[in-house]
Amino acid sequence: MTPLRQRMLEDMGIRNFAENTQQSYLQQVSLFARHFARSPSGLGPEQVREYQVHLVEDRKLAPSSISIAVSALRFLYKVTLRQPWAVDDIPMPKKPFRLPVVLSPEEVTRFLESVHRTKHRAILMSSYAAGLRVSEATHLKVTDIDSQRMMLRVDQGKGQKDRYVMLSPRLLEELRAYWKAGRPETWLFPGDIPGRPITRDAVGQACNKARLASGITKPITPHSLRHAFATHMLERGVDVRRIQLLMGHRSLATTSRYLRVTTSTICATTSPLDLLPALGPVQPSAPHPTHF
């Protein structure tokens, strides 16, 4: 490990960055250095701009992917290298706003019925029942299940914040059946490596396999179940603020975006056309003269 890489890792550790963020930033800086075959300490604003053009025009990356690279480079030059030039002037690409693809309750049922491994069904059902991020679901521990208060403890979710979410009686029944079959000890959903939880990739593969088996044409990822949780709760009339707390959103605006996809409040609204009086039949138009 180079001294610069070690120092950047220490700088992120001091600020208590999440492990995934640290690994992502290090990877992005490594790709940047490899592109120029030089240490980032010897590169500057012109090289950063050239690299951004490369990401857009040559690699054709999505704005969200470019944003990760920009964030990593901003941190490197502003915090670790303390460069005097205006690091904040490194432009951040504007992300297009896209509505999430939401499964209907019937599609969620069909999808979960297509998950044939007990562990995979239990973790995907947990994601939907409690609106969990995939990283939160994979890191659930046996001790996080509080059947007395009917709560699930989410330990160090996004932003490194703990929270409690509801424990569905139906989910509790499913988890008990799963626990009796496998008897997990520490991690509720252990992975193939002893002492480690199931990986995000393993959950993603199980999700894709179930989507193909279900015949659902919509794209489905583990995060789709979190989207479905929020949307279905809103459609049932649950307060947005309560959903924000359950999902662990820092901003209410993040939760409010689901208002755009709730069929009960958007698509079920009466069109003004339906409020007009009945229209008479179309009157035939006079023939157009063919000459003066």
Active site residues: 133, 158, 223, 226, 249, 258
What residues form DSSP beta bridges with 190? 197
For 193, residues 6+ apart whose C-beta sits below 8 A from its C-beta are none
CA separation, residue 244 to residues 64, 139, 172, 239 (Å): 23, 21, 23, 9
Q: How far apart are CA 30 and CA 20, in angstroms?
A: 15
Round to whole Å and give the CA distance between 255 and 245: 9
CB 26 within 8 A of CB 5: yes
Spatial separation of the C-alpha atoms in residues 79 and 31, rounded to whole Å: 19
Please give the Cα distance from 90 to 74 (Å, whole number): 7
Q: Tokens in use for 92? A: 């951040």
Which neighbouring-strand residues pair with 152?
145, 165
Q: Which contacts qualify for 38-41: CB closer than 8 Å, 24 or more apart?
A: 39/2, 39/4, 40/4, 40/73, 40/76, 40/77, 40/81, 41/4, 41/81
The H-or-E segment that residue 119 falls in is: helix 118-130
